[in-house]
């Protein structure tokens, strides 16, 4: 086995602060008919601040990135649950539970950055952008006429040169 050396390209930052998360959560729970029918509802709002992100810097520093506290993100949502005991006797019970949840996520701030690239391929990038959900898909869209129809050239859709938000990774 040969010797190996590794020169990290992300500079550690001794001035990092701990990430902080503050949140509010309200809920209600009910049980009826000797606990055979159950329901609960929860609302939450959570703010994450001083998120640690590797920020790109000039390679003249000897590094390509530096860790820094720059991001702020908000999550808020609701969760509903309904359950019931359909069959219950001394030897057996059969329960059915349904759970529905909705989370709205938004990047509040990235410090002085307009966007932060999380990854990408095929000419598209996955990004964090202030005012958008975490994980928006950014790429080149089809060119469209003023009424919104896709413009075709030689039988193929014409591709715009401008980058735009095409969607996000969070399901509805």
Q: How many CA atoms lie within 13 A of 89 on its CB side?
A: 3
Top-confidence residue, 146 or 170 = 146
9 and 65 Cβ atoms separated by less than 8 Å: yes
DSSP state of 144: B
Per-residue pLDDT of 20-79, as tens digits, reads 999 999 999 999 998 899 999 999 999 999 999 888 888 888 888 888 898 999 999 999
| Sole residue written with tokens 């959570």 | 46
Predicted TM-score (pTM) of this structure: 0.72
């Amino acid at each position: 086995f040969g010797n190996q050396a590794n020169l990290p390209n992300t500079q550690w930052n001794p001035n990092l602060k701990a990430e902080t998360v503050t949140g509010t959560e309200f809920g209600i729970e009910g049980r009826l008919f000797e606990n055979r029918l159950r329901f609960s509802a929860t609302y939450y709002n959570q703010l994450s601040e001083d998120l640690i992100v590797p920020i790109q810097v000039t390679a003249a520093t000897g590094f390509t990135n530096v860790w820094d506290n720059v991001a702020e993100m908000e999550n808020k949502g609701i969760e509903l649950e309904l359950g019931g005991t359909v069959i219950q006797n001394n030897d057996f019970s059969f329960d059915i539970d349904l759970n529905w949840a909705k989370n709205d996520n938004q990047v509040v701030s990235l410090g002085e950055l307009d966007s932060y690239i999380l990854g990408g391929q095929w000419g598209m990038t996955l990004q964090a952008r202030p005012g958008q959900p975490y994980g928006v898909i950014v790429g080149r869209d089809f060119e469209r006429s003023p009424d919104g129809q896709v413009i075709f050239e030689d039988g193929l859709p014409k591709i715009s040169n401008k980058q735009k938000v095409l969607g996000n990774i969070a399901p509805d």
